[in-house]
Chains A and B, each alone.
Chain A
């Protein structure tokens, strides 16, 4: 690690958010030192493909990398890999590392992300009980998915469903175990939940809903089954625990920064200390398109938007306009695109036909769209996103009629 004369920007966490912030600082003309610290052994990469294209073997490791390794030296970004920040001193303006080094900063960006929520159950330490957050996790999962193998996914959220779809594409069997009555219970409503359940079922995925996982059974140290309440067991060769995340806000909290299950930031990603920013999954942020209420967003769009804001403020540029938040999921030949958040919704409207696998669910507050979930319906996603941002009143009659174009609905 090179020692810089004047403190610059220190970025703790070298994921999608941290890596992007480093690159943007240089792109925006920042001349000072930039230190990017990550606890993984590899340079910043994209996580979304780990459960999608990459897991299915449609993308290689090179395509995951945010930037080629040579970029960091060329851009004079000191990339410190395999080293975690252990403490922040807001008064001395230093970050301590696991290696024992302490790095001074003028500005600090906390981009520590989140970790997969573990299931503290008997047998959870058996080999073959995995989570899916890092490239290393994904390597282990991919190596185990092949014909004749059975994947048990615990948690019917988007990551779990993407993994199940990828398992089927690789010829492995897949069973999804969900505690709630329906899959996607936490993140979606009907008819989306039933649509995805049916689509997966038709492609060989087995669902067990309203089940309680009690632990894992193994032989020779390797998982052989998931144990459910009522003495049921679900045999498997590999078990993926996909039950949400825990935000890595521990060092921020210990330093005395305001936290609320995540680092509390303002609309420009500034934390409660003026020299500190927090971006990406770890942030608890205001939602400018929804009366500024505070929320947690776990998406690439959020990571990038906050990276742009932090880098803009640090370099004295006007921050960009706030985006309507968006996200996507790829399963089989389905592209789900989501825009906005279904806050204060009093009705939902379905446009198109789920049976044709081309439809959109609009979440409405009166005749204003608050959120849209579009399946193989990019026009509905793009137009919906614009209309959400404009808070524009729409004709619900036109919106419900797929023969009326989204251009006309948005006009």
Chain B
């Protein structure tokens, strides 16, 4: 279990307990948090679950795969701390993680 803070683009914060094994994306979708669309349901096929990982958490969330990096390369508003949240698996290690949503996923 990890407490994850999801910050909408307008600054609204949602603090959610997310079960281990789920992805950061699933934590948002299952709690109806706006700002993460996840059109493909986590298949790494669409790049609509884009988030910015708080700098302090970049190491713990790991590096994106080549597939994810290629998808991010062409997403909108990409920053060095951009990730696809469907590719970040929740573990106890991520307790306290903070992610911020881009202005739009489309």
Contact = CB atoms under 8 A, between A and B. Distances in A.
Interface string A370-411: 000000101100110110000000000000000000110010
27 contacts: A26-B32, A27-B32, A53-B43, A63-B42, A66-B29, A67-B29, A67-B30, A68-B30, A300-B40, A300-B41, A301-B46, A321-B106, A328-B40, A328-B46, A335-B43, A335-B67, A337-B45, A378-B67, A378-B70, A379-B70, A382-B47, A382-B70, A382-B71, A382-B73, A382-B74, A383-B74, A407-B73
B74 A48 contact: no
A295 interface: no
A63 B39 contact: no
Interface in B33-75: 34, 37, 39-47, 67, 70-71, 73-75
A378 B41 CA distance: 17
A118 interface: no
Nearest to B19: A62
B65 to A, nearest CB: 10
Contacts of A407: 73
Contacts of A68: 30
A301 B105 CA distance: 13
A336 to B, nearest CB: 9
A330 interface: yes
B45 A335 contact: yes
A374 to B, nearest CB: 10
Given A23-B32, A71-B32, A382-B70, A301 B43 contact: no
A44 B32 CA distance: 14
Interface in A320-353: 320-321, 323, 326, 328, 330, 335, 337
B34 A27 contact: yes
A379 B67 CA distance: 8
Instruction: Give the secondary structure class of B's interface.
Output: loop
A261 interface: no
Interface residues of B, number: 23
A322 B45 CA distance: 18
A330 B43 contact: yes
A379 B74 contact: yes
Interface of A: 23, 26-27, 46, 48-49, 52-53, 63, 65-68, 71, 75, 300-301, 304, 320-321, 323, 326, 328, 330, 335, 337, 376, 378-379, 382-383, 385-386, 406-407, 410
Contacts of A65: 30
Contacts of B39: 300-301, 304
Contact of A75 (B32, B47, B70): B32
A323 B106 contact: yes
4 residue pairs, one from A and one from B, having the closest CB atoms: A382-B74, A328-B45, A378-B70, A379-B70
A406 B75 CA distance: 13
Contacts of B43: 48, 52-53, 328, 330, 335
Nearest to B23: A63
Nearest to A48: B41
Contacts of B70: 378-379, 382
Contacts of A386: 74
Contacts of A383: 74
A30 B45 CA distance: 30
B90 to A, nearest CB: 13
A344 to B, nearest CB: 25
